[in-house]
Every structure is written in structure tokens, then in C-alpha cells.
Amino acid sequence: MPKPSVPSAEESAKKWGDETPKRSGYYEKNASKAGAAWESGASGAAKAFKGAVQATDIDKRFQGGIKKAGAGKYERKVKDVGVARFGPGVSAAVGDMQSGVAPYLAEIGNTEIPERGPRGDAGNYKRVENIGNALHKKRIASLAAGA
């Protein structure tokens, strides 16, 4: 039985690198309209996600993926991709950051904290504890509500 002709990994990567960037229009046209399908599919995968993160060897799989990629790839991607995308990414995320942080800033503003004591007073930790507890409750409520 004959074996199929398979290109080398080098040839495949070169073709992918040459051709795929030309598809940005296709990506923009289709990906920009795929939000509802993504949301539906991702929400429907909650049970599978739970099962995956509870797998008995999930820690080993996670660690293995990190080791496989390695520090070198991480650092190379920061230089080759991350630096150029950092500023535009932050600029594009200003509205998301604002809407994401607003409920937590409001929660801090509505949290009662005890008066500040003298420097080094153990009661000062109660101020931090009150804010930490309020923010934790807000985060959990937001996640549960799907906010």
C-alpha cells in the first residue's frame, strides 16, 4: 500500500507563514460576526471544562504544556509579537477596563471601614479586611450572575 506524500514541517510552516497573513480580510469578516456562536459554544462547554480541570492529572498536563513551550518561546513571543501589540491592545481595551473596574471601585466606595488608628495599630488591618471581603463577595456574585 503506498504512503501519502507529506510535506516537511519546514515547508508547511513556510507556506502557512506566507499565506495565512493574506487571510486577514477573511478573518475580520467572519470573526467579527462570530460572537454569538462563540458565547453559545463556550457556555455549552461548561460541563466539559469542569471535567477537564478536575482530571486527576491536570496539574501534570498543565506543567507539561508549560515545559513544552518553555521560557525561550515565551521571551521570543514577547519580543516578536507582544511589544508591537502592547500599546494598541491597551488603547483598544480602555472601555473594557473602565466597565470592568467600575463595579469594584463602586464597591470600595460603599464599604464601611473603621477609623484609622495610629501607625502600627492592629486595628488598621480591619480596614483592609473589610475592603478585601467586600471585593471578594462582589467578584463571586458577579461570576455567579454571569456579569
- Nearest-5° Cα angle at 88, 84 to 92: 150
Cell of residue 137, nine digits: 463577595
d(CA 83, CA 44): 35
Q: Is the pTM of this model over 0.85?
A: no
Is residue 132 within 8 Å of residue 107, measured between CB atoms?
no
Q: Residue 116 has which C-alpha cell?
A: 484609622
Residue pLDDT, tens place only, 21-54: 999 999 999 999 999 999 999 999 999 999 999 9
Residues 91-126 have pLDDT tens digits of: 999 999 999 999 999 999 999 999 999 999 999 999
Residue 106's pLDDT is 96
Domain span at residue 140 reads: 98-147
Number of domains comprising the chain = 2
- Cell readout for 109 is 466606595
In the chain, the N- to C-terminal Cα span, in Å, equals 57
- Report yes or no on 79 lying in a domain: yes
Of the residues 47, 67, 92, the one at which a domain ends: 92
Which amino acid does the sequence have at 19? E
